[in-house]
Structure 1
Amino acid sequence: MHDLRRQALESGKTISRKALSREGSRSGSRLSSARNSRPNSRQNSRQSSRAASRYASEDEDNGSLSDGTAFSTTSFDELDNPEADNYDWPTELAERIEELLDRKRSSVQGREEALAAYCRLSKYHYVEEHIRGHIQDLLGALSKSIKHESSVRETTLALKALELMAVTANDDRIYDAVEPLLTRTIRDSKSMVVKAAAIHCLGTCTYFGGTGEEGKLDQMNFFLDIVASDGHSIDAPDDAGAVTAALQQWGFLATDIEDLAGESEEAVESFIEQLESSEPRVQIAAGENIALLYEKSYTPRGDDDDDDEDSSGEDSDSDSDDDQHLVKRYDAYHDTRQLEQLLQSLATVSGKHISKRDRKTLHTNFSSILTTVENPRRGPMYSKAIDQDTNRRYGSKRRVRIGRDAVMNVDRWWKWIRLASLRRILQGGFLEHYYQGNRAVLNSLPMILQEERPMVTDRAAAKKAAKYRNSVRRMVLEEDMWE
C-alpha cells in the first residue's frame, strides 16, 4: 500500500494523503476548465464534489490491492453503496468516457483524473449497458495508457479500469485484445507497482475475458514461473508485490480448472518455498493455494466408485453429509507429513521479529490451511480445536457478512479465493454488482445469501431491511442460474 503511494509518479514526487482525498473534486474543476464545450460548468462541479465526498480516492483503492491475500475480516459492512438515489452517475460516466477517448486534447494529469473517475463509477455501479457500445474504443484508449506508461499512476489506473471492464462487459474478445500487451508490460515495465498491477489485470482478463481452459493453464504456468523464480523471470527479483500478485492470480485461475492432478506436485513444491518468505501476504497466498490443491484432489463420489473407497477414517472428521461424499482421486503432494509440520509451525509461530498483527493473521490463516491439508474434505475454517471428550477436531466454517442483513457461508477454498479476487477488484462496489445481477459475479459465486433480519426501530430502517429482503428473495429464485 505504501509502496504504491510512494511511487505514484515516476518523477519521484509524492502526493500527500490530504491531496489524495481531494482527487475527486480536483477532477471536476480541472477537466471542466480544460474542455471548451463545458467551460466553468456548475453541474460538473457539483457532481465531482459530490462523488469525492462519497468515495475513497482511486489512489487509496489501488493501495489496498496489495494488502494481503486473505481477508482478516469477515465483514462486508463497509461495502454498502453510499450513492444517493438522485445522483446522475450515467451522465458523469458518459463524460468520462468521452474524455478518455479524446486523447489528442488530453494531458497525463487529465487522463489520470478521468481514469480515476471511470474506475470509481465502474466499481460503484453496474455499468454494462452504458459501456456496451464503447468496448473496442475503450480497449484502445486503455491500451495506449498502458503501453506508453507516461506515469505510474496513469498506467495503474488504466490497468484497474481494464480489470473492471473485464468483470463488467461480458465480452469474450477482451483477453485476445490485451494479452500480448499485458504480458509485455509485466516483463518490461521498470515499475514494480505496474508489474504487480499488470499481473492482476492479466489474471482477471484471463478469467473473465473469453479464455478457455488451455489459455488459463498457460497463464497459470506463466504465474508459477514468477513464483518459482521469486520474480526474477520478469526482472522483479524478490519483489513481494509481484510474487503475491502471481500467487493470487494462479489460485484464482486454478479455481476454474477441474483436474489439476498433473500440475499439483510442482505447484505445491513452489508454494512450499514461498512459505519461508518474510512477507506474511506471500506466505498466506501460497498457503491458500496449497489448501486449494489439496481440496481439488478430492471430488464427489460417482456411480462407479465403491462405497468403501477411501475409507481411511477421515470421514469421521467431516463437518457435513456433503463432505462424506468426497473421494480422494490423487495425492496432491508426495510428502504431506512434512508439509503439515511446516504449516503447524506457521500456525503457532511466535517471536519478536513478527508484529502482533501479523502473528495473529498467520495463526488464523494457517490453522485453517492446516485443517484442510490434514483432511481435504474440510473447507476454510476460522478456528480449529480438539473436543476433549471425543478427541475429534472441529471448527466453524467461514461466514462472510454482506451488507448488514445477509451472510455467505464460504465452505470451500475455491469460493473463498474467488470472493477474495472479486473483493480486490470491486471493493466497495461488490454489493452493488452482486444485487444488480452482474453475470460474471453471480457465475463466480454460486452461493445463496442467508438473510439476517435486523431489529427495526424506525421507518427508514424498515424500508432498508425490506429492500434487502426483496433482493435476497430474488437471488434465491435465480439459484438455478448459478449452478
Structure 2
Amino acid sequence: MHDLRRQALESGKTVSRKARSKQASPTSSRPSSQPPSRAASRSRAVSRAGSEEDEAGNLSDETSFSTNSIDELLNGDASDPVTDAWRADLADRIQELLDRKRSSVQGREKCLATYGRILTAQYAEEDIRGKEAELVLAFLKSIKAETSERETILAIKALAMTVVTSPSDLIYEAVCGPLKRVISDSISVPTKVAAVHCLGTCTFFGGASDDEILDNMAYLLEIVASDGSFIDAQDEADPVVAALEEWGSLSTLIDDLADESEDAAEYFVDQLSSSDPGVQIAAGENIALLYEKSYRPLTDDDSGTEFGGGDIIADPDDVPGVPKLVKNYDVYRRTDVLKDTLSDLASLNTRRLSKKEQKAIRTNFADILDSVEYPTHGPRYQNAISQDTGKRYGSRMTVRIHKEGVMKIDKWWKLHRLQALRRVLQSGFVKHYEANPIVFESLPIMITNDRKASKEY
C-alpha cells in the first residue's frame, strides 16, 4: 500500500414511482424486455442511509449494505484501536461457524455478527487464509436455510466481507446460483437487497469472467426494467436501488459499453420519473457514468479538431497533459429531452419531499446534468476560477484518508467504486484502503495533502 499510494492511476450505476396514469413501457430493443413500468405509491422516504436499529430489533448496521448520503459518506472514518485480541476472537468465531452441529439460531446470529464486525474493522487475510472454502459453505448453509432474516443477512454480509478480504477465482461460481435464488425466492425484501449487493461484490472480486459480468449486469437491468417484479418485489424501492447501484459498479469493469448503453439508458431515464429519491439518484448516477464512458482519448488517427463540434471535446481550460476526448458512441437517442428532465430535477421544488431529500436531488442532478453536457466534468465540478491557479476548480469531491491526505473523486467511475466499497466495508473503508491491496487496486487514486483547490464533502 505504501508504494501503491504514490501511484496516480486511471481506469477506464423500488420501485419506479410513476404517476398511476402513466402506463407506457420503456423503449427497448432487447427481445426479453420486461412489462411496462408500473406505478406505485411511495410508502416511505427511502434514503440511501443504512438503518441503525438496535440489537434487539430486526436489523442493525451490521446487516446493512447501504451508505449514507454522499456528503456524509465522504467524511473521514474513525478506526478502532489496533490490538491483537481480535485475532483470538476471530479464530474462535471461525471454529464456531464451521461446527454447526449444536448451534442455535441466536448463537449463529451472534457469531456471524462478530465475524463480520471483525473483518470490517481489521484486515484479516492471514487469519482466514486456507479456510475460505469452508467458510463460504458455512455461509451458504445459513443463506439457503433462511432460518431467520437476521441470520441470513448476516451470513450474506459475512460472505461479502470474506470475498473482499481474501478474493478467490472460485468463489463466484459457488455463490452466484444460491444468491440469485435468494434474490428471486426470499419473502424478505431486506434479504433480497442484501443478496443483490453481495452478488455485485462477489462478481467484482470473486473471479467472474467478462461474460459473467455482462450476464449479471443484464440480470440487474431486468430488476430495474420490471420495477422489481422480476424478483417478486413489486412496489419496493430498495431492491431496484440496489440493482441500479450494483449495475453501476460492475459497469466500471467493462471498457466498452456501446452494446449495453442504449437499452440501459432507456431504463435509467424511465426511472427518473420515480417518486423515490433513491431510485432517481441511482439511475441518474448511472446515466452520468454512461456518458463519461462513451468518450475516449483522442488519438492521431481521429479526424476533426474543433472543440464544440459534437464529437470531440476538450478540457475547458485546455490543461497541458489532459487529452481531448472523442465520442465513441451515442448513449441515448434524445439527449435534448434528457437534458430537460435533468434540468427539472436540478431545480426541483415540491412539498412531496422533505427539504433534505430535495437538496439531495437538486445537488446530484446538477452534477449529472453538467456531466451529460460536458463528459469531462466529474462529480461536484465547479466552474469558478481559483485565484491561486487562475484555472477552474474542477471536481471538488474529496475523501480524507486520516492525516495522509485526501483522495480526489473527479470521475464518475471512481465515485461508483467508492460507493460500492463503502456499502460493504462501511466504517472499515479507510482501514481496508490502507491495508488491503485488493481494495486499493480497485480504486488506485493518488493521495495528496493539497487542500487549497479541493473541498471535502
Q: Cα RMSD over matched residues?
A: 2.7
- Does structure 2 retain, via aligned residues, the 8 Å contact 1:364–1:382? no
Q: Which runs of 5+ in 1 are unaligned?
A: 9-14, 24-57, 454-483
The equivalent residue for 2:410 is 411
* Counterpart in the other structure of 1:380: 379
- Report SS of the residue matched to 2:168: coil
- 1:42-66 per-residue CA deviation (whole Å, 9 max, x = no partner) reads xxxxxxxxxxxxxxxx822434x34
Secondary structure of 2:158's counterpart equals helix
CA distance in 2, matches of 1:123, 1:328: 41
Question: Is residue 348–residue 362 contact of structure 2 (8 Å, CA) maintained in 1?
Answer: yes
Structure 2 residue aligned with 1:420:
419
Give the counterpart of 1:158 among 155, 159, 166.
155
**Which structure 2 residues correspond to residues 298-377 of structure 1 after superposition, within 5 A?**
298-306=295-303, 308=305, 312=309, 314-315=313-314, 317=316, 320-321=319-320, 323-377=322-376
- Note if 1:288 corresponds to 2:285: yes
Counterpart residue number, 2:213: 216
**One-letter amino acid of the counterpart of residue 438, structure 2:** A
How does 1:56-135 map onto structure 2 within 5 Å?
A: 59-63=60-64, 65-66=65-66, 71-73=70-72, 75-77=74-76, 79-83=77-81, 85-135=82-132
Give 3-state SS (helix, strand or coil) of 2:129's partner: helix
- Cα offset for 1:248? 0.4
Contact residue 309 and residue 327 of structure 1 kept, 8 A: no
Contact 1:368 1:384 in 2 (8 A): no
Shift of 1:384: 6.1
In 2 relative to 1, CA 321–359 (structure 1 residues): closer, same or farther, beyond 3 Å?
A: farther
Q: How does 1:209-288 map to 2 (within 5 A)?
A: 209-288=206-285
When residues 214 and 281 of structure 1 are mapped into structure 2, their CA distance, relative to the original with a 3 A threshold, is same
**1:165 counterpart letter in structure 2:** T
Shift of 1:328: 1.0
Please say which of residues 441-450 and 241-250 is displaced more in the overlay. 441-450
Q: Secondary structure at the match of 1:130?
A: helix
Q: Deviations over 1:401-440 (max 9, x none)?
A: 222441111111001100011011111111111111x122
Following TM superposition, by how much is the alpha carbon of 1:81 offset from its aligned partner in structure 2, in angstroms?
Answer: 1.1
Tell me, in whole angstroms, the C-alpha distance in 2 between the residues paired with 1:447 and 1:397.
14
Q: Take 1:425 and 1:114, find their aligned partners in 2: how far apart are those partners?
A: 18
* Partner SS for 1:408: strand
AA at the equivalent of 2:376: R
Distance 1:227 1:319 in 2: 39
Q: Does 1:202 align with 2:199?
A: yes
TM-superposition CA deviations, 1:332-358 (whole Å, max 9, x none): 111111101100111110011111101
1:163, 1:204 within 8 Å by CA — same for their partners in 2?
Answer: yes
Q: Secondary structure at the match of 2:380?
A: coil
Larger radius of gyration: 1
Confirm or deny: 8 A CA contact 1:399 1:409 kept in the other structure. Answer: yes
Q: C-alpha separation between the residues in 1 aligned to 2:398 and 2:72?
A: 10
Q: Aligned partner of 1:408: which letter?
A: M
Partner SS for 1:17: coil
Q: TM-score, normalised by structure 1?
A: 0.77
**What displacement does 1:363 show?**
1.1
Measured at CA, do residues 385 and 61 of structure 1 come closer, stay the same or move farther in structure 2, by a change above 3 Å?
farther
Contact 1:347 1:362 in 2 (8 A): yes
Describe how 1:382-401 pairs up with structure 2 within 5 A: 395-401=394-400
State the distance in 1 between where 2:399 and 2:334 align. 33
Deviation at 1:383, TM superposition (A): 5.0
CA–CA distance in structure 2, aligned partners of residues 116 and 183 of structure 1: 23
- SS of equivalent residue, structure 2 residue 424: helix
Verify the 8 A CA contact 2:315 2:322 in the aligned structure 1.
Answer: no
The one-letter code of the counterpart of 1:441 is V
> For 2:314, what is the secondary structure of its paired residue?
helix
- How far apart in 1 are the matches of 2:208 and 2:55? 41
Partner of 1:178 in structure 2?
175
1:228: Cα distance to partner? 0.4
CA-CA distance at 1:322 after TM superposition: 5.3
Offset of residue 227 of structure 1: 0.1
Residue 158 to residue 316, structure 1, CA distance change in 2 (3 Å):
closer
Identity rate of aligned residues, in percent? 48
**1:271-306 CA distance string (max 9 Å, x none):** 011111111111110000000000000011234223
> Which structure carries more relative contact order (alpha carbon 8 Å, separation 6+)?
2
Secondary structure of the 2:216 match is helix
Q: Which amino acid aligns with 2:54?
A: R
SS of 2:72 mapped into structure 1? coil
Q: Give the equivalent residue in structure 1 for 2:434.
A: 435
Q: Please state whether the residue corresponding to 2:407 is helix, strand or coil.
A: strand
**8 Å CA contact 2:227, 2:234 repeated in 1:** yes
Which secondary structure state, in structure 2, belongs to the residue aligned with residue 399 of structure 1? strand
Check the 8 A contact 2:213/2:250 in 1, yes or no. Answer: yes
**Partner Cα separation in structure 2 for residue 368 and residue 385 of structure 1:** 14
Given that 2:382 and 2:394 are in contact with CA atoms closer than 8 Å, whether structure 1 keeps it comes out as yes
Quickly say closer, same or farther: Cα 1:74–1:320, change in 2 above 3 A.
farther
Is the CA contact (8 Å cut-off) linking 1:75 and 1:402 kept in structure 2? Answer: no
Shift of 1:154: 0.4
* 2:175 paired with 1:192: no
After superposition, the C-alpha distances for 1:350-386 in whole angstroms (9 at most, x for unaligned) are: 0111111011111111111111000112111255679
TM-score, length basis structure 2: 0.81
User: 1:309 offset after TM fit, Å?
Assistant: 6.8
Task: Say if 1:172 and 1:211, in contact at 8 Å, map to a contact too.
Answer: yes
Question: In terms of mean alpha carbon deviation, does 184-193 or 377-386 score higher?
Answer: 377-386
User: Aligned pair count?
Assistant: 399
Please state whether the residue corresponding to 1:317 is helix, strand or coil. Answer: coil
Instruction: Write the distance in 1 (CA, Å) between the matches of 2:212 and 2:193.
Output: 20
Opposite residue 357 of structure 1, the aligned amino acid is K
Question: Are the equivalent residues in 1 in contact too, given 2:382–2:392 (CA < 8 A)?
Answer: no
Note closer, same or farther for the CA distance 1:351–1:317 as it changes in structure 2 (3 Å cut): same
